[in-house]
Amino acid sequence: AVAMPAIAQSAPEVKWRCTSSFPKSLDTIYGAAELMSKTVAEATDGKFQIQVFAAGEIVPGLQALDATQNKTVEMCHSASYYYVGKDPTFGLGTAIPFSLNTRQTNAWFLYGNGLTLLNDFYKKYGVSMLPGGNTGGQMGGWFRKEIKTVADLQGLKMRIAGMGGQVMAKLGVVPQQLAGGDIYPALEKGTIDAAEWVGPYDDERLGLYKVAQYYYYPGWWEGCAALNFFFNLEELEKLPKSYRAALTAACARANESMLASYDAKNPIAIQSLVKSGTQLRRYPNDVLDAAYKAAHSLYDEISAKNPEFKKIWEDVKVFRNNGYLWWQIVEFTYDDYMVRARARG
């Protein structure tokens, strides 16, 4: 009998709202927030309920972080790089061109300085972050004409967001900002010449293969894209310790689940796209080299003005260079052999 009040006290009913930056139609991404919510509810016997809202239901997708900062909601599921307009440092929480691959990103978050450095930065916005899934490496976008040299990019209007767009601009592209649903009609009418979205599974559902034939890889501006759960810091502090632990574990589950889902779905979708006539093209080396150089000069420019970006980017760079020194040994040679073995049949 003595224990009961203590149990009751430690299990208050808590209701949170989580606004997603994504529509329900992006089921792999949106589904990760739902899995997080379901896991928290089950682990707390229904006492801690987090209701997930699609982009636009409470606030527009790109206002998810602000809504979390100003306590319209307690948390959101978003992509840090949507907020590079506030500060380019936000880019480092999701993806910047020619940076870490998926496993390196998770390693940097959890066992490098990633979460510590980023959460120091996010504190200014009244939020903290946990990894919220990853798309894996993305494709390099749909083009209506082949790209054989950097010159072929001159003047192309391409739907591409964030820092990838800034780097593309240095190569002569005119970046366009369009929501997912607006890409198809713009490509169809020819008001844009190219567009990047995510990868085979999501791109197929937008139907982009019907209005652009050439599908480029790799998406060098997103060697992976980490999604993020952002929490209002004050609301997070109010949680009982057990709810916070359930939330942390649920986010980890969502993080691994989203990647596994993409890794299961993309291999099927890419084959279906090729059957529908999509032509796969690797970006020419001169485009990759020019983009690599432009990206690093952009990082130098930003670093010269922004000490916070500089500090975190330098840390990422060391992690990336060590990471790829190791990656080239086992992972890369194993994959290399397996790719060739599959092709031999």
**Contacts with its own copies in 289-308 (CB under 8 A)?**
292
For residue 103, state whether it binds its own copies (rule: CB under 8 A).
yes
Of residues 25 and 333, the one with the C-beta less far from its own copies: 333
Q: Map the footprint of its own copies across residues 208-237, applying CB under 8 A.
A: 217-220, 223
For residue 341, state whether it binds its own copies (rule: CB under 8 A).
yes
* Number of other CB atoms surrounding residue 78 within 10 Å: 30
For residue 268, state whether it binds its own copies (rule: CB under 8 A).
yes
Rounded to whole angstroms, the Cα distance separating 236 from 257 reads 23
Number of chain positions touching its own copies (CB under 8 A): 88
- Copy the structure tokens of residue 42: 């089950």
Segment interacting with its own copies, rule: CB under 8 A, options 49-57, 71-79, 303-311, 328-336: 328-336
CB 26 within 8 A of CB 202: yes
Q: How far is the CB of 190 from its own copies (least distance, A)?
A: 27
Of residues 126 and 217, the one with the C-beta less far from its own copies: 217
- Tell me, rounded to whole angstroms, the distance of Cα 51 from its chain centroid: 22
For residue 288, state whether it binds its own copies (rule: CB under 8 A).
yes
For residue 155, state whether it binds its own copies (rule: CB under 8 A).
no
Of residues 179 and 339, the one with the C-beta less far from its own copies: 339
Torsion of CA 189, 277, 261, 181, to 10 degrees: 10
Binder among 253, 303, 308, 311 for its own copies (CB under 8 A): 253
For residue 272, state whether it binds its own copies (rule: CB under 8 A).
no
CB 20 within 8 A of CB 53: yes
Q: How far is the CB of 322 from its own copies (least distance, A)?
A: 4
CB 174 within 8 A of CB 158: yes
For residue 5, state whether it binds its own copies (rule: CB under 8 A).
yes
CA terminus-to-terminus distance, the chain: 68
Binder among 147, 199, 225, 227 for its own copies (CB under 8 A): 199
Among 90, 62, 124, which residue's Cα sits nearest to residue 302?
Answer: 90
Q: Map the footprint of its own copies across residues 111-140, applying CB under 8 A.
A: 111-112, 136-139
* Element spanning 9, H or E: helix 3-10
Binder among 94, 176, 255, 278 for its own copies (CB under 8 A): 255
Q: How far is the CB of 83 from its own copies (least distance, A)?
A: 24
Of residues 62 and 260, the one with the C-beta less far from its own copies: 260
What angle, 0 to 180 degrees and rounded to 10, lies between the N-to-C axes of helices 307-327 and 285-305? 140
Binder among 43, 79, 84, 129 for its own copies (CB under 8 A): 43
* Element spanning 53, H or E: strand 48-53
For residue 180, state whether it binds its own copies (rule: CB under 8 A).
no
CB 169 within 8 A of CB 290: no
For residue 141, state whether it binds its own copies (rule: CB under 8 A).
no
Secondary structure (3-state) at 187: helix
Please state, in angstroms and as integers, the Cα–Cα distance from residue 64 to each residue in 34, 40, 67, following that order: 16, 21, 5
